[in-house]
Amino acid sequence: MKKTQLVFVPAPGFGHLVPAVQLAKMVLERNDSFLITMLAIHNPFDGGISKNTESLASIHTEIRFIEIPETIPAPPPEALAVGPASAYTSYINDHKTLVKDTIVNLVMTHNPAPIASVVVDMFCTAFIDVAKELGVPSHVFYTSNAAFLATMLYLSDREDKGEPKFSPTDPDYIIPCYSNPVPYRVMPLLHTDVEYEAFANHGRQFKESNGIIVNTFSEAESHAVSALLARDDIPPIFNVGPLIIHHKGKSLSGSDAVKRDEILKWLDDQPEKSVVFLCFGSRGCFDEAQLKEIAIGLERSGQRFLWSVRLKPSKGKLQASIFDNYGEILPQGFLERTKNIGMLCGWAPQVEILAHKAVGAFVSHCGWNSTLEALWYAVPIITWPLYAEQHTNAFQLVKDLGLAVELTLDFRGDCPTDFVKAEVITKAVKTMMEQGGELRNKAKETSEMAKKAVMEGGSSYVALGNLIDQWLGSKP
């Protein structure tokens, strides 16, 4: 059988790399005529991606991994302070020559099979130009949801019409992808001019690709998907999600495997849907004062809990601190008083926890990967967004989709004055656990829709088939 190549260029960061690998894996499961190469860019924020790349490469031997040389300097701290997304984008853009040279010298020369597409991450739109220079198609892989994709396109529309940037004095915005008016406060990602411009520019560049692949399923975001389909100025949209990793701890070893077993054994001993799981992603962390307030709020709720505790990194460091000396930070006597109803951990096997029958709610930062995992396993969400597009995700979950309880929608992890009090935490947790029957039913319905979407004949299954047909039809 004649082979066709796909070249994936995910943005640096585990939350972008893993979904890209999962998409590549799904493509190969549907059609084995593809040769897939994954180009991995060095992540300047966590000291590199070699460990993550090696781990994924060892699991997915059917995918070829190539690491781009680490020759581009990390974004300067002052640029990160002004606009993280803008600085991140500039850093990726500086890899254009390296990416082009790698495709020419290590992909095209390595195998003469034609390249059906260069599949670039939502932050890697600069490489659409690389694909054009090489005379091959390109597709954007959008790792967030359809609503924020439509928001980025909306920003580019506003800029192209000469409309002003967002302002705190503006009335709530009517954005076509949301059912409800969107307040300024839930879009901190777009409050600065440099960030607004960065996202608008990405939205503009999406239109230059041959298609946009979105990690969502149409039934979950019907309003946003309809808003996208109503446009005639964008490439075809392929909603192929949810892309869920079902690893069941197979790749764990050593201390991680021991921790996983301890956590799952503890959950096995809890009643069904009785545990509130708190986890805020790889970058989700809080200072000591906020951690104490979370502890007080949980204790007052009287609910069982499993809490992934991460301390804000010391000055000059980017990674959250995982620690086990909880008694030194949390309120005096908290560990003793809650020992029969709570468990604390650092790292947590999130997918396996959400899949466990004992888990009844998820206090989440509302990152899109985590949101999809919760929806897949029918776990309703309590929203605590921290950064990136998590605030609009939380707004959509609470206001548009009715799948979450609002703990907060506008907390900012980068704002030292933002603080959530214990009584707010207690109220949100008790509301979900004691009065959340309707949300639980909605979560169950959404979970069933998600699973149908990826089954043969489902909306995402069909969309992936259409995408593969487009790729195969693009062969010279």
My answer on whether 238 and 294 are in the same domain is no
Tell whether the model's pLDDT for residue 104 goes beyond 60. Answer: yes
CA atoms within 13 A on the CB side of 210: 21
The H or E element that residue 368 is part of is helix 368-376
Does residue 51 or residue 440 have the better pLDDT? Answer: 440
* 180 backbone dihedrals φ, ψ, rounded to 5°: -110, 150
Q: For the residues 390-414, what does the mean pLDDT come to?
A: 95
Tell whether the model's pLDDT for residue 168 goes beyond 80. Answer: yes
**In this predicted structure, what is the pLDDT of residue 313?**
78
What gap in Å lies between CA 343 and CA 364, rounded to an integer? Answer: 17
Q: For the residues 431-446, what does the mean pLDDT come to?
A: 96
**In this predicted structure, what is the pLDDT of residue 475?**
44
| Tokens matching residue 430 | 């008790």
What gap in Å lies between CA 27 and CA 35, rounded to an integer? Answer: 10
CB 377 within 8 A of CB 447: yes
CB 421 within 8 A of CB 411: no
Buried b (16+ CB within 10 A) or exposed e, 41-69: bbbbbbeebeebbeebbeebeebbbbbbe
What gap in Å lies between CA 459 and CA 476, rounded to an integer? Answer: 29
My answer on whether 305 and 421 are in the same domain is yes
Segments forming the whole domain that contains residue 211: 4-245+455-473
**In this predicted structure, what is the pLDDT of residue 415?**
86
Which sign does the torsion angle of CA 389, 393, 398, 403 carry?
negative
My answer on whether 368 and 220 are in the same domain is no
Strand partners for 67: 40
My answer on whether 321 and 192 are in the same domain is no
Q: For the residues 391-411, what does the mean pLDDT come to?
A: 97
**In this predicted structure, what is the pLDDT of residue 316?**
52
**In this predicted structure, what is the pLDDT of residue 333?**
96
**In this predicted structure, what is the pLDDT of residue 91?**
96
| Runs of H (alpha helix) within 207-287 | 222-229, 254-268
> pTM here?
0.94
Q: How confident is the model at residue 312 (pLDDT cuts 50, 70, 90)?
A: confident
My answer on whether 415 and 462 are in the same domain is no
| Tokens matching residue 212 | 């946009």
My answer on whether 184 and 166 are in the same domain is yes
Residue 305's CATH number: 3.40.50.2000
**In this predicted structure, what is the pLDDT of residue 61?**
81
What gap in Å lies between CA 71 and CA 48, rounded to an integer? Answer: 12
What gap in Å lies between CA 83 and CA 76, rounded to an integer? Answer: 11
Q: For the residues 217-236, what does the mean pLDDT come to?
A: 96
Tell whether the model's pLDDT for residue 42 goes beyond 70. Answer: yes
β-pairing, 310-311 with 321-322? antiparallel
- The least confident of 91-105, 178-192, 316-330, 360-374 is 316-330
My answer on whether 282 and 297 are in the same domain is yes
My answer on whether 16 and 82 are in the same domain is yes
Neighbours of 116 (CB within 10 A): 24
Q: How confident is the model at residue 450 (pLDDT cuts 50, 70, 90)?
A: very high
Fill in the DSSP letter of residue 215.
S
- The least confident of 68-77, 200-209, 265-274 is 68-77
Q: For the residues 319-328, what does the mean pLDDT come to?
A: 73
Q: For the residues 287-305, what does the mean pLDDT come to?
A: 97
- The least confident of 70-79, 316-325, 362-371 is 316-325
- The least confident of 3-12, 323-332, 355-364, 447-456 is 323-332
Q: For the residues 58-80, what does the mean pLDDT come to?
A: 89
**In this predicted structure, what is the pLDDT of residue 461?**
98
Four-CA torsion 53, 54, 60, 64, nearest 10 degrees:
70
**In this predicted structure, what is the pLDDT of residue 176?**
93
My answer on whether 460 and 380 are in the same domain is no
Angle at 224 between CA 201 and CA 355, to 5 degrees: 105
Q: For the residues 327-349, what does the mean pLDDT come to?
A: 94
Q: Which distant-in-sequence residues (6+ apart) come within 8 Å of 26 by Cβ?
A: 240, 243, 464
| Tokens matching residue 272 | 């069904």
My answer on whether 270 and 241 are in the same domain is no
pLDDT tens track for 452-470: 999 999 999 999 999 999 9
Q: For the residues 299-326, what does the mean pLDDT come to?
A: 81
Q: How confident is the model at residue 288 (pLDDT cuts 50, 70, 90)?
A: very high
Q: For the residues 41-69, what does the mean pLDDT come to?
A: 77
My answer on whether 130 and 36 are in the same domain is yes
Q: Which distant-in-sequence residues (6+ apart) come within 8 Å of 175 by Cβ?
A: 150, 151, 154, 182
Angle at 363 between CA 358 and CA 365, to 5 degrees: 140
Neighbours of 81 (CB within 10 A): 10
CB 364 within 8 A of CB 408: no
My answer on whether 267 and 175 are in the same domain is no
Tell whether the model's pLDDT for residue 353 goes beyond 60. Answer: yes
What gap in Å lies between CA 149 and CA 214, rounded to an integer? Answer: 8
How many domains are contained in the chain? 2
pLDDT tens track for 247-281: 554 556 667 788 999 999 999 999 999 999 999 98
CB 107 within 8 A of CB 115: yes
What gap in Å lies between CA 112 and CA 133, rounded to an integer? Answer: 18
Strand segments (E) across 323-392? 342-345, 359-364, 381-383
**In this predicted structure, what is the pLDDT of residue 476?**
38
User: Please, what is the average pLDDT of the chain?
Assistant: 92
* 27 backbone dihedrals φ, ψ, rounded to 5°: -60, -45
